[in-house]
Amino acid sequence: MALDSYLAAHNLALVPKQSSYRAIVTRSPVPKGSVIIKSPPLCSFPTSSVADSICNHCFNSQVSRLTPCATSSSSSSHSLMRCSRCKSAFYCSVQCQRKAWNLHHKWLCDGMVITDNTNGDYEMLRRVCLVIGGIAKKEYLTDYDVLYETFSGLMDHKSDYSQDILEYFNQVATVVLNDLSSIKNFNKSNLTTDDLVNYLCIFGCNNFTVHDNQIFSVGEGTYPVGSLFNHSCYPNAVVMYHGNVQIVKAIEDLSSNDEVMISYIDTANTKSTRQQLLTAKYYFDCKCIRCNGNIKDVDHLLAPASSTMPTALLLELSTRQRTLLSPLLPSLFIIPISIPPTLLQSLLSQPHTPLALLSQHLSDLLRNEQWDIAAGIGYRILAIYVLCYPRYHPMIGLHMYTMAKCFWNSTSDGRTAVEEAVKLSASARAVLEVSYKDCGEINWDVINAIDDLSRMASKELNT
Ligand SMILES: C[S@@+](CC[C@H](N)C(=O)[O-])C[C@H]1O[C@@H](n2cnc3c(N)ncnc32)[C@H](O)[C@@H]1O
């Protein structure tokens, strides 16, 4: 089978597993920071909010220097080309425009839909049907045979969907079949409404949100190979994107025969919220090392925010966090899973300030350029992140980078703040390097920006 040899070429294997049907395991040790597998989407499309600022084919951003799917690194693109016919599709290069044209745009250009969350199913289904139905020119799609074989074998959980949802899927399937039936030769594909309903069921529990280098959502994609990885609330791998190419990276050292696990949801949530999200969309009860209690959970710090914090308390908390947590920064990286006891003690003794509330305050403080208070609150958030994300998770690194910027911009603490900026940028780099290395120039730009900040701050310390 094409899939087995494809996985074997990446030192991976798909093995049966009772609790989750199948699982991906390593066939040799994989050091943290390694690319486990890179795979293209069967289909993908950008979200409406960014559709005019990223290439609708490869998701390369307007301002980036490298086009992931262009043949030469000199094909720089600082403004996107617009489809002159529909005026709603944008491309970074002629190559991308040609690929999109031959895969779907030729048939969808007239009825181009500006996609949003309500018609994402419709948009994805039309594209998948053009590919599977033999209309799209498959030579423009990388690894089609593997993608198709894998997609066809994915779990659809059809019996778990409610009658209402299946009826909605049936309506979408009917509209799409009707739309596509006017295309010459589409009827030869013999695709039925039932087939399309099955595809929609597969999308529901397998599709991915594509994100940029700041983990902001930029699109949706059907990634059959990535869909083979099971979920853990304390994953040993993360999903990165170079444009719309999906890259699974190890964030822990893996031994031979270890199961590779990613997370399907934001794991900075209480156990009950995580379980609800996973049951509602993926139809399973999570029994991962965190959910079964092998890692100390901190639900009281993750509860949803119900109110805002008075400014005086915010200030007090900010100052206290800096005093308590700044000296602990180095220890956050020494112990892989267990939490330094001093940190745990300081967190548990704090007033009840859930993460959502702190994050909300942090964004307000950043927006209002209140860097000093933001930095202190940032420490508190960092401590909570360290308790609920694996040590080398990009959320931790990106947050450290935000904090480094706060200290660098802060005016009140002089040299101490600059020292904090240096310390935090070094930590941010150490964490982000693991997931961002070998993921293309667009991701590496974040590391370059951290290095720039670190150089400026170190220079200031030495003058
Ligand atoms: C994206 S697929 C993952 C691959 C899937 N195991 C397969 O063999 O095709 C998602 C589905 O896998 C199962 N799954 C994923 N992670 C699981 C876990 N930690 N425990 C139990 N089932 C899991 C659930 O049925 C879920 O809806």
Q: How far apart are CA 325 and CA 257, in angstroms?
A: 38
Residue having the nearest C-alpha atom to atom 19 of ligand 1: 231
Residue nearest to atom 18 of ligand 1 (CA): 231
Q: What is the pLDDT of residue 388?
A: 87
Our answer on whether the CB atom of 14 is closer than 6 Å to any ligand 1 atom is no
Ligand 1, pocket-test mutation among 18, 42, 155, 246, most atoms within 8 A of CB: 155
Amino acid of residue 415: R
- From 4, 12, 21, mutation site for ligand 1 pocket: most ligand atoms within 8 A of C-beta: 21
pLDDT of residue 187: 87
Residue 91, H or E segment: strand 90-91
Q: What separation in Å is there between the alpha carbon of 386 and the centre of ligand 1?
A: 26
Whether 17 lines ligand 1, by a CB cut-off of 6 Å, is no
Q: What is the pLDDT along the chain (463 residues), one digit of tens a residue?
A: 799 999 999 999 999 999 999 999 999 999 999 999 999 999 999 998 999 999 999 998 854 444 444 333 333 445 899 999 988 899 999 999 999 999 999 998 876 444 444 578 999 999 999 999 999 999 999 999 999 999 999 999 999 999 999 999 999 999 999 999 999 999 889 999 999 999 999 999 999 999 999 999 999 999 999 999 999 999 999 999 999 999 999 999 999 999 999 999 999 999 999 999 999 999 999 999 999 987 777 787 787 766 666 777 777 777 777 776 677 666 665 433 345 566 656 665 666 678 888 898 899 999 999 999 999 889 889 888 988 899 899 999 999 999 999 999 997 778 889 999 998 999 999 999 999 999 999 999 999 999 999 999 999 998 8
Q: Is the distance from the beta carbon of residue 227 to the nearest atom of ligand 1 less than 6 Å?
A: yes
Domains of the chain: 1-40+223-295 (2.170.270.10), 50-68+78-144+152-206 (no CATH), 301-461 (1.25.40.10)
DSSP 101: I
What span, in angstroms and rounded, lies between the C-alpha atoms of 214 and 211? 8
Q: Which of 336, 356, 357, 446 is nearest to 402 (CA)?
A: 446
Edge to edge, what strands does the sheet with 245-250 contain? 35-39, 245-250, 237-242
Contact status, residue 325 vs residue 346, Cβ threshold 8 Å:
yes
Distance in angstroms (rounded) separating the CA atoms of residues 65 and 289: 41
Could you tell me how many residues make up the chain? 463
Nearest to 204, CA basis, from 239, 237, 160 = 160
pTM recorded for the entire structure? 0.91
Q: Residue 205 CA: which ligand 1 atom is closest?
A: 27
Phi, psi of 182 (to 5 degrees): -80, -10
Q: What is the pLDDT of residue 66?
A: 41
Instruction: Compute, in angstroms, the gap from residue 160 CA to the centroid of ligand 1.
Output: 13
Q: Whose CA is nearest to atom 13 of ligand 1?
A: 20
Inter-residue contact 275 to 286 (CB < 8 Å): yes
- At which residue do the structure tokens 């956050």 appear? 332
**Strand 217-222 to strand 237-242: parallel, antiparallel, or no bridges (unpaired)?**
unpaired
**For ligand 1, mutation pick of 17, 20, 283 (most atoms within 8 Å of CB):** 20
| Measured distance CA(119)–CA(103) in Å, rounded | 20
> Ligand 1 centroid to 198 CA: how many Å?
17
* CB-CB neighbours of 130 under 10 Å: 23
CA 200 – ligand 1 centroid, Å = 17
In the numeric block, the tokens 């040899």 are attached to 5
Residue 449, judged by CB atoms within 10 A of its CB (0-12, 13-18, 19+), counts as middle
How does DSSP assign 285-346, residue by residue?
A: ----TTTTTSS---HHHHSPP-SPPPHHHHHHHHHHHHHHHGGGGGGGGTSSSSPPHHHHHH
Residues 334-375: pLDDT tens digits?
A: 433 345 566 656 665 666 678 888 898 899 999 999 999 999
6-34: pLDDT as tens digits: 999 999 999 999 999 999 999 999 999 99
Going from the C-alpha of 239 to that of each of 52, 218, 266, 340, 436, the distances in angstroms are: 24, 14, 12, 28, 10
Which of 267, 282, 287, 290 has most ligand 1 atoms within 8 Å of CB, for mutation?
282
Find out whether the beta carbon of 19 lies less than 6 Å from any atom of ligand 1: yes
Task: Tell me, in angstroms, the distance from the centre of ligand 1 to residue 182's CA.
Answer: 37
